[in-house]
Amino acid sequence: QGFKDNLHAVFCLAENAVGPRATRPDDIHVLYSGKTVEINNTDAEGRLILADGVAYACKDLGADIILDMATLTGAQGIATGKYHAAVLTNNEEWEKACVKAGRNCGDLVHPLVYCPELHFSEFTSAVADMKNSVADRDNTPSSCAGLFIASHIGFDWPGVWVHIDIAAPVHAGERATGYGVALLLSLFGGASEDPLLNMVSPLGCNGDSPAEEMERDSKRRRLV
């Protein structure tokens, strides 16, 4: 799509199968960030490799904007419904941009509560830096799951971190919806040379001159 900035895709993939090295309750893992995690829920496994993914993006790729997207929690569908993904971010401008990008492209997004000073304590462990699942499932578990990932780059990290939980809108019945592709293109479209993506992107646009606006109107007519 003609992106002008460095853009990396890190795929955090693992086979969720039982084997002799499977994660067990009370295991303690050292993640790529160097932080230790006590396993108190073997079903909260995806966040372990997502945490490694964002740590890799930070340490090895030197990214200044990190967006992780995953079908992370069943609670997302309760928190924001089956049509809106949930967004959690350390940056208010990017929170607004995600919502606007979703409206522009049809992949709808709604914010979660971002409050690590109140919610990250849900992961408190007596034997590790954190547990991998919350103590109280009634205390915004989707937000907490995102905070688990963010903790592996650090809550004081100066870059932009965006977490998008897409558990509910990625499927309709037994079929996949393809949710997320349009959202990412819209969100980062301002860094593209594609005029249509520039038009729908909520970021990186400082206003167009009348000539540019006329040219875009002409392109809109051709698309129609």
**pLDDT tens-place string over residues 141-177:** 999 999 999 999 999 999 999 999 999 999 999 999 9
SS3 64: coil
Torsion angle, alpha carbons of 91, 93, 99, 104, to 10 = -140
Q: What does the pLDDT look like over 190-204, one tens digit per residue?
A: 999 999 999 999 986
The per-residue pLDDT for 212 is: 53
Q: CB within 8 A of 154, min separation 6: which ones?
A: none
Mention every residue, 6+ apart, whose C-beta is less than 8 A from residue 75: 137, 141, 142, 145
Burial of 92 (0-12, 13-18, 19+ CB in 10 A): exposed
pTM equals 0.88
What does the pLDDT look like over 48-104, one tens digit per residue?
999 999 999 999 999 999 999 999 999 999 999 999 999 999 999 999 999 999 999
DSSP, res 192 = B
Query: What does the pLDDT read at residue 214?
Result: 52
Which residue shows structure tokens 């002008």?
A: 4
pLDDT of residue 15: 80
Domains recognised in the chain with CATH numbers: 27-206 (3.40.630.10)
Residue-level pLDDT at 213: 53
- What CA–CA distance (Å, rounded) separates 161 from 91? 7
Q: Annotate 117-150 with b (16+ C-beta within 10 A) or e (fewer).
A: eebbebbebeebbbbbbbeeeeebbbbbbbbbbb
Question: 14-52 in b/e burial notation, b at 16+ Cβ within 10 A?
Answer: eeeeeeeeeeeeeeeeebbbebebbbbeeebbbbbebbb
